[in-house]
Amino acid sequence: MADRRQETLLIDPGGRARIWCRECGRELTDPISRQRRLGAECDSEPRTGHDRHDVDQDPIPGL
């Protein structure tokens, strides 16, 4: 009787997931584009190299 076992699938553990732009569907390679899920051409926000989120806070009492 023939051997009917399924072949072992080789998965590259070091490979990164492929991510596509939400607008145009092209594959993204830039780290910022991959994080935002939008290509540089489709993203309306300026690219500054880092995302910054400032929060107004009250001063810590005693300092």
pLDDT in tens, 21-52: 999 999 998 888 888 899 888 988 877 655 66
Place of tokens 């780290």: 31
For the cut 80, the answer to whether the pLDDT of residue 7 exceeds it is no
Per-residue pLDDT, 26: 92
Which of 2-11, 17-26, 46-55 ranks highest by mean pLDDT? 17-26
Domain map of the chain by residue range?
17-41
pTM of the model: 0.49
Q: How far apart are CA 48 and CA 59, in angstroms?
A: 28
Q: How far apart are CA 35 and CA 45, in angstroms?
A: 13
